[in-house]
Amino acid sequence: METYWASMKKLFFNIVLLVLSPLMNYGQVCISFTDKITVVQNEQLASYFDRQIEVFGLTIYAEPSVPHDKLVYVATVWAELIDNNEDGIVDDPKILDQLALSQAIMPVFGSQKSKAIRNIEKLIGDDQLGAILWAEEINPASPGIVGEDATVEELLHTMNSIGHVAVYPELFYLEPGSSALTEALDEARGGQFIKHPRRYPDEAWFHYDDRTCDYQCMAIEYLYWAILANMNTLNAIDPEVYEMIKGEWELIDRNALRSDELMWKLLNESDVILPSRSPDGCYTPSN
């Protein structure tokens, strides 16, 4: 029969385990970047943002109205993408070097109505700014799920447009007919369309129709969808949401992506290491 103190010890252990269990992943405690939050170091940007986190070559800035947990979550997802095997070492040091050289940033605004957005886009060059985020499109409960959380999308845009395009131009350059990516893009769209066609050919499986998105933008969007399919992230979306995105992208998962032979080779058979595991909002590096 257990003594009173033995029972209390077991109860205490169970309570601690219950508290820590949401922070556990595969037996490891999730790393938090809370201790990396500082005041904004850049004097110009300090007029718009009050906090920043610098991690793995990217500085993430937040407006005062952005919740603390969402800022930390963005940093966490970034770590999961750039150290996708979570061994504590960036998967591709060349991408890290390029991001640091470009002084890449990810601004997080309180809302789409933020007056700072236009000012930041004028203040920061294209070599620093690949994408932006709004607080309302960040959902730590659904990492990367289309229609629920845009964090993975915008961070991938940043990694690809600032990192991969510069480091591996023969594979990822965005001008028409300039790289393996644009060759794959033209095939996925059923032709090389510099301007949007009135109607995509029936054989196309990527048919994005946002007319504000030029050819280079289309290439980045195409790369994003392909990476998402390669990570099997799209398998987690609601069937109704998939019905909506089919109007833009048809390949739902890794198996379906194999039919896009050029993109499959780029993502899985080239020497470039791209994220292949979907972030879960818990960064657990072995080192």
What's CA 46's distance to the chain center, in Å?
Answer: 25
Diameter of the chain measured on Cα atoms: 79
- The fold of the 27-168 domain, in CATH, is Glutaredoxin (3.40.30)
pLDDT tens, 93-148? 999 999 999 999 999 999 999 989 999 988 998 889 999 999 999 999 999 999 89
260 band by pLDDT with thresholds 50, 70 and 90: very high
Instruction: Report, as an integer, the average pLDDT of 189-202.
Output: 94
Taking CA atoms, 56 is separated from 67, 81, 103, 147, in Å, by 22, 10, 11, 27
pLDDT score at 24: 42
Taking CA atoms, 147 is separated from 45, 71, 244, 273, in Å, by 30, 19, 10, 27
> How far is residue 181's CA from residue 164's CA, in Å, rounded to a whole number?
11
The pLDDT mean for the chain works out to 90
> How far is residue 202's CA from residue 106's CA, in Å, rounded to a whole number?
37
Q: Residue 13 burial (CB < 10 Å; 0-12/13-18/19+)?
A: exposed
Ranges of each domain in the chain:
27-168, 170-271
Does the reported pTM lie above 0.85?
yes
pLDDT tens, 28-64? 689 999 999 999 999 999 999 999 999 999 999 999 9
pLDDT score at 286: 87
pLDDT score at 19: 38
